[in-house]
Amino acid sequence: MKTAANFRRWLKGLIARGGIIVFFIMAFEVMIMISPFAFFFYSVFNPIFHWLDAYPMTQWLTHFFLPHMILPPTLPLKIIRILGSVLFVAGCTTFIICALQVYLGKIFKWGIASRGMYRFVRHPQYTSLGIWGAGMAILWPRFIVLVTLSIMLILYYFLAKDEERRMVAQYGNSYRQYMRATGMFFPSIGKSKSTLPVSGTLFHRQNIIAPLFVVAIVIGTGFACRFVTLHSLPLKSKDNITLVSIMP
C-alpha cells in the first residue's frame, strides 16, 4: 500500500512538473527563436502549429492576443506590456525566495514552513509561479501560451490539495491551525471555518468548478485583450495584405 501511495505521489508530481515544463517551452518560444536551437525547436513544433492552423476550431491557438514585436500604440496596451515585465520579475523573485526557504527548512528541519510569505499563504511558490507565468504570457502573447498556463495552474491546484492532505496526516492539529490562519494561494480576508482540505473524489463539485473558472478567466482575458488590440492598432488592408506599423 505504501509503495502504491508513493508511486501515485510521484506520478502526480511528475504530471504537475511536466505541465510547467510544457508551459515554459511555449512561453520562451521568443527566446528559442534567436538561439542556435531554433531549428530543433521548430522541427518539432512547426508541424503542431501547422496542424492547429489547418482547422477553424483550433486556429485561434496560434494567434496572438496582444501586440508583439512592435511598440504598443495606446496607453492601455503600454500599461499591459509594463505589467507583464513587473509580474515576470516579481513572480520569479518571489518563487526563488520561497524555494530557498522551503529547502533550507528541510535541511535544518524547521518543520512547517510558516515564516515569511508562508505566514499569510500556504502555497506562495505556486502563487508566484502563476504570477511569473502571467507575466510571461503577456511578454509572448500567443493563445497557446494561455492554454498551457491554464493547464499549469490547474495541475498545481490539485497538487496543492494533495500536499495539504499529506501535511494534515503528518502534522495533525498544528497544520489545521495553520490552515485556519492562512489562505491557500492568496491571503485570506476572513477566518475560514474549514480546517481540512476538501475530501472526496476528483469529481467533487469544487474540484470541477475551480479549474473551469480558471480556464474561463485566463482564456477570456486573452480574448478581451485581443479585442482591445485589434481596435487599437493602426491597420491598413489591401487585397490579401494587412499592414501594421512597428512604431506608434
- State residue 193's pLDDT score: 44
Handedness of CA 130, 136, 139, 144 (dihedral sign): negative
Residue identified by cell 478567466 is 217
Q: Using alpha carbons only, how large is the chain's radius of gyration in Å?
A: 21
Q: Which three-class secondary structure state does DSSP give residue 237?
A: strand
Report the predicted TM-score, pTM, of the whole model to 2 decimal places. Answer: 0.78
d(CA 1, CA 245): 63
Q: Which residues pair with 183 in a beta bridge?
A: 121
Interval 183-194: pLDDT, tens = 888 887 655 444
- The fraction of the chain above a pLDDT of 90, given in percent, is 23
Domain boundary assignment for the chain: 2-244
Question: Residue 196 above 60 pLDDT?
Answer: no
How many other CB atoms are found less than 10 A from the CB of residue 94? Answer: 19
d(CA 161, CA 179): 12
Mean pLDDT of 143-159: 88
On whether the CB atoms of residues 147 and 217 are closer than 8 A, the answer is no
- State residue 199's pLDDT score: 44
Question: Residue 64 above 80 pLDDT?
Answer: yes
- State residue 200's pLDDT score: 44
Average predicted confidence (pLDDT) for the chain:
80
Interval 13-41: pLDDT, tens = 676 677 777 777 777 777 777 777 777 77
Question: Residue 235 above 70 pLDDT?
Answer: yes
